[in-house]
Structure 1
Amino acid sequence: MSRRFNDLTVIDTPRVDESLRYASSLAAVGVLVSREPVVTRAFAHWLDKRLTEADADAVISIGAAHKVAYIDPKWPVVHVADALFGPLVDYYPKYRPLNGRSRRIGNALQRQLINRNQPILLTSDWAARSAAEYYNVPNDRFEVAPLGANFDLEPAPCERTSQGDKLKLLFVGYDWPRKGGPLVLKVFKELRRHLGDAELHIVGCKPAESFGVEGVVHHGHLSKTDPAQAALLESLFRESSFLFMPSQQEAFGLVYCEACAFGLPSIARDTGGVSAIIKNGENGLLFDADADVETYVAGIREGWADEQRYLAMTRAARAAFENRLRWHVWGATIEAQIRALGQRDDDD
C-alpha cells in the first residue's frame, strides 16, 4: 500500500491482539471476548482518536471487523476478510460451543459493518456466497479479491524442466489434525507402497504418529525471520513435487498461494475458500470433501505418472501467482476501491 499512497499510517494493536488470542480459548465455553461490547466500543473510541490524529481519508481493515464496526461513520472503510462472522462460526468446529449471546452480538457487529454500505472484499466466492446467504443481502454486496502470497521479497520464477527422480510431498502447517495431517500420512504410506522412494517432508509440527514411518522427514518450525531457516523452507518449496495439505476446514489458505509462487502444485481438499486458489487439474489437484485414501492415491499417481501434465501444472501454479495471487494484484483492487470511495464522497 505504501507504494500506492504517499501517506500511509499503520495502526496496530499487538499487545491487545495477543491478549485477545489468549482469551479466544474461552470460545470453548461459549464466550468470544473479541466481540464483547466493552471491547469493540473501546476499539472504536481509540481508533476514532488515532484516525483523527492521522487525518485519515480512508481506512483499510484487514480482518478487523471487531475494531472498525463502530467507528465514526465519517470514516470510509474498505474491509477485507476471508469470511464473515456468521458463516465462519458455523464452519469452524472450535466456534460451535459459542452461546446464543456471543452469536447475537457477533452478528450484530457484522451487520453494523455491512450496513455502512462501504466496500467489503472477501477472499473467495465461497466467502461471498455464504455471507450473502447468511445475512440476506444481494450477492453484489461483496467483491471477491484473493489475498497474495506472504513474502517480503517475491521468489524469482524458476521453470521446472523435469519432475525429478522421486515424488516429494511437502506438508506445511501447525495444526496437524485440522490441516489434514492424518490423511496425508495414510495417503503417503500407500504411495510409498507403489513408489518405494517417495518422501514426505513435514514443516510446522512433529506429529507423534509420523515418527518411525519410512520416508518421512521432520523439519519442525521454520521461521521466515531466520535466514537459515527461511532458506531451508524456500528450498523445500522449490524442490518438492507437491504441497499436500488437505485441510478439513480452510477459509482461504495462504500457504497454497506461497506454493504457487514457487511453481509448486498443491494437493488439497475442496472446502471453504480453497477453490479460489487451487483449480483442479490446472495448478494442483483438488479432491472432494469426502474423498477417501484410495481416491487420493489414485489421483496423485495419475498426476505424477504424466510428466508433461505435471510440468504444465507447475507452470500454471506460477501463472496463478503472477496473475491472481500476489499482493500487487490485491493492492490494485484495494486502491481502486479507495479511489472510488473518494469519488463517491466528492459527488456527495
Structure 2
Amino acid sequence: MKIGFYSVVPLDDKKNWSGTMFKMYEQLLHLGYEVVWIPRVCFTKREEKTFKIIEKTFNKIFDRGYNRHLFIYKAKTAARRLEKNLKDIKVDVIFNPTHVNDFAYLKTDIPVVYLNDANVAQLLNYYHYYSGFGILSKIETKYLERKTLKNATYSIFSSDWASNFAVEFYGLAEDKVKTIKFGANIIVPKRIDFNKNSTEFTFLFLAVDWIRKRGTLAFESLKILREKGYPVKMLVVGCNPEIKADWVTIIPFLNKNNPDEFREIQNHLLRSHFLFVPTKADCTPIAFCEAAGYGLPVISTDTGGVSAHVINGYNGSLLPQDAIAQDYADEIERLINKPQTVREYSENARKLYEKELNWENWGIEFSKILEKLK
C-alpha cells in the first residue's frame, strides 16, 4: 500500500509538531508501507492578500476576531490546488494529520484518513489563540470541520475526549472514528529504577508555555510545601519564567535533536520524582507520554485530553480545573507521606507506556485501519 502523507514540511523533519509527525512517518515505514510526501498547498501573494482583506473586513464590520486558518474562500482555494496536485501523485490512501481547511471541499476518489488531537470546535474559547472569534467565524469554522470529517473515510483522534466529541457533535458514525493514543517522542530506557532518593523531591515542569501550562500555579503550590518544611524542589525545563528562588532550577531550552542536550533531558526525567504540570488547557501533552516511559507519576489537571494519558489514582493525580495552589499542595503532601502509593503510581506509569503510550502500539492500531482500505 502506498500512502500519501500530507505535511507542511518534509517527513524526515523531526521538529514537525514536536516530533509527532516524524514518529508517525517512522512507524509507517517500519510496518513496510511505502510513504510519499504530499506537500501542503501554497498560496500566491495575491491570494494571501485577499485572505487578509477578508479577515480585516470581518474585524471592521463585527469588531470581533476571525479564524484566519479556517474560512470558506480559503478552503475552496486550497481544495482546487490540492486536486490539481493530486493528479500527478499515485497513492492508495491520503493520510491527513491536522489539516482541516484544505480537505473540506476536496473532491477525490482516494480514501482519506484524517488525524488530530482535538476537534477545532473544542478549542474555541479553550485555547487562547482560538478565542475571541465572532459568531459567524465560529459557525464557518464548525461548518468546514464538519465537511472535512464527513469527507474522511476514517477519523483518528488521540483521546476519547476528542473522538467522542466528533461522534456526538458532528454526528460521525462510531465505526468511522478511532482513538489511538500517541507515544513518547524521545528514546525511553528499557528498564527503570523505581528506587529513588526520598530525602528530597524534585518536581519537573517540562513545558514551553509557562502561561497555558500554569507554571506559576505549580510554583505557588510547591512554595506552600516549602514553607511547611517539605524538601521539595522545582525543575523548569523548556521556558524561562522570571522566578528567583534557590530551590528552583530553570533550563530555558533543550534540543531533543542534539545528543548531549537529549541526554540531559533523559537525566532530568530519570532523577525527578514527579512531572508537575497543572495545565489550563491541553489536548495530548506528549510530555505526559514521555513521563510514563520514564516511570514518572504526573500531577496535572482534569481537562481536555489529559485523562487519556494520566489516569487519576493510577499513574498520577488529576485535580479539577478550578483547583488552587493549596489544593495541589494538599495532594502532593498526601503523596509524599505515602511513598508506597508513589511507587505504585510510578510502576503503573511504566505499565501504561508499555501497553499503549508508545509509537509501536500506535503503528499497529493505525495499520488495522489501513488494512480495511485495501
Of stretches 101-110 and 260-269 in structure 1, the one that deviates more from structure 2 is 101-110
Instruction: Write the distance in 2 (CA, Å) between the matches of 1:131 and 1:319.
Output: 29
Tell me: CA distance 1:236–1:12, structure 2 relative to 1, closer, same or farther (3 Å). Answer: farther
Question: Quick one: which of 286, 291, 313 aligns to 2:345?
Answer: 313
Give the alignment of 1:186-265 within 5 angstroms.
186-208=220-242, 210=243, 212-265=244-297
Contact 1:60 1:77 in 2 (8 A): yes
* Correspondences of 1:61-76 after superposition (within 5 Å): 61-76=96-111
Within 5 Å, which residues of 2 pair with 1:137-152?
A: 137=172, 141-151=176-186
3-state DSSP class of the match of 1:115? helix
Asked if 1:272 is matched to 2:304, the reply is yes
For 1:165, the equivalent position in structure 2 comes to 199
The CA distance in 2 between the partners of 1:180 and 1:139, in whole Å, is 35
Bigger Cα displacement from structure 2, 159-168 vs 316-325: 159-168
Q: Which of 210, 214, 219 is the matching residue for 1:180?
A: 214
Change (3 A) 1:48 1:331: farther
Question: Paired residue for 2:131, among 82, 86, 96?
Answer: 96
1:98/1:301 Cα in 2 relative to 1: closer, same or farther (>3 Å)? Answer: same
Deviation at 1:181, TM superposition (A): 0.9
* Deviation of 1:219 (Å): 0.6
Give yes or no for contact 1:162–1:311 (8 Å, CA) kept in 2.
no
Pick aligned residue for 1:5 from 25, 32, 36: 32
Q: Distance in 2 between matches of 1:260 and 1:46?
A: 42
Per-residue deviation, 1:195: 4.0
**Ranges in structure 2 where 5+ consecutive residues have no aligned partner:** 1-27
Amino acid at match of 2:106: I
How far apart are 1:87 and its partner, in Å?
Answer: 1.8
Match of 2:4 in 1: none
Cα displacement string for residues 42-61 of structure 1 (whole angstroms, at most 9, x for unaligned residues): 43334334444331101111
Mapped partners of 1:137, 1:60: distance in 2: 18
Secondary structure of the residue aligned to 1:8 is: strand
Q: For 1:9 and 1:237, locate their aligned partners in 2 and report how far apart those are by CA, in whole Å.
A: 35
| Change in 2 beyond 3 A, CA 1:314/1:195 | farther
1:78 maps to 113
TM-score by length of 1: 0.87
Whole-Å separation in 2 of the counterparts to 1:155 and 1:52: 45
Relative to 1, partners in 2 of residues 1:220 and 1:112: Cα closer, same or farther, differing over 3 Å?
same
In 2, Cα distance between the equivalents of 1:128 and 1:264? Answer: 27
Matches of 2:290 and 2:83 in 1, distance apart? 35
Larger displacement relative to structure 2 (57-66 or 44-53): 44-53
Change (3 A) 1:207 1:117: closer
Paired AA for residue 33 in structure 2: N
- Correspondence for 1:283: 315
Letter in 1 for 2:78: F
1:100-139 equivalences in 2 (<5 Å): 100-116=135-151, 118-137=153-172
1:184-208 residue CA offsets vs partner (Å, 9 max, x unmatched): 0110101212344321011111111
1:330 aligned to 2:362?
yes
Contact 2:202 2:273 in 1 (8 A): yes
Q: Which amino acid aligns with 1:321?
A: Y
- Aligned partner of 1:79: which letter? Y
The farther-off stretch of 227-236 and 62-71 is 62-71
Q: Which has the higher helix share?
A: 1
Distance 1:90 1:204 in 2: 25
Per the alignment, do residues 308 and 255 of structure 1 end up closer, same or farther by CA in structure 2, a change over 3 Å counting?
same
Number of corresponding residues? 333
Unaligned runs of at least 5 residues, structure 1 = 343-348
Q: Which amino acid aligns with 1:312?
A: E
Contact 1:83/1:251 (8 A) holds in 2: yes
| TM-score, scaled relative to structure 2 | 0.82
| C-alpha distance in 1 between matches for 2:213 and 2:78 | 32
Shift of 1:14: 10
Task: State the identity %.
Answer: 27
On the 8 A contact 1:170/1:244 being kept in 2, the answer is: yes
Q: Given residue 280 of structure 1, which amino acid in structure 2 is its aligned partner?
A: N
Contact 1:73 1:116 in 2 (8 A): no
* Residues 63-99 of structure 1: CA deviation (Å, up to 9, x unaligned): 1222333322312111111111212214224322112
1:87-145 CA-to-partner distances (Å, cap 9, x unmatched) read 22142243221123322332222111222262111111211223333324455552221
Structure 2 match to 1:345 = none
